[in-house]
Amino acid sequence: MSSPDRGNVGIVIVSHSPKIAEGAADMVRQMVGNAVPLAWTGGDVDGGLGTNVAGILEAIEAAWSAAGVAVLVDLGGAETNSEMAVEMLAEDRRARVVVCNAPVVEGAVIAATESSGGSSLAAVKRSAEEFYA
């Protein structure tokens, strides 16, 4: 189950509010620890509420892992911009990034918990999405 050669799945938190994104990341760090690559992004390019593709791409880069990256989003634009960011990745990376259908805060903590045990990207996504199951 563990995959030390590839490392743990990275987690990216995308919220319209940078405060929510940062706060969710704080919760992940405190509850799950530092064994998981983690990055957050929030706000539009002018610093208002919103999301932006460049910021999401940067976050995916920062949390990159050969095991893949799971993206947790809040509402509407966060999801569509995340999907757009994934589209813009190099082809070999695109398949290793998934946007999870899960609540952003809870999903991030659960995804990171799953990842910290060395689980695959598919298992990380599945676990985060159990919230809506």
78 in Cβ contact with 51 (< 8 Å): yes
Q: Scan residues 111-130 and list those touching another protein (CB under 8 A).
A: 113-114, 116-119, 127, 130
Is residue 16 annotated as part of the catalytic site, yes or no? yes
DSSP lists the bridge partners of residue 72 as 13, 100
Instruction: List the x/- string, 30-69, binding to another protein by CB under 8 A.
Output: -xx-------------------------------------
Q: Answer yes or no whether residue 15 interacts with another protein by CB under 8 A.
A: no
**Which of 8, 9, 10, 16 is an active site residue?**
16
| Phi-psi label, residue 68: left if phi above 0, alpha if psi -120 to 50, beta otherwise | left
Cα–Cα distance, 124 to 108 (Å, whole number): 10
Q: What is the DSSP letter of 118?
A: T
Binding site for another protein (CB under 8 A): 1, 31-32, 109-110, 113-114, 116-119, 127, 130-131
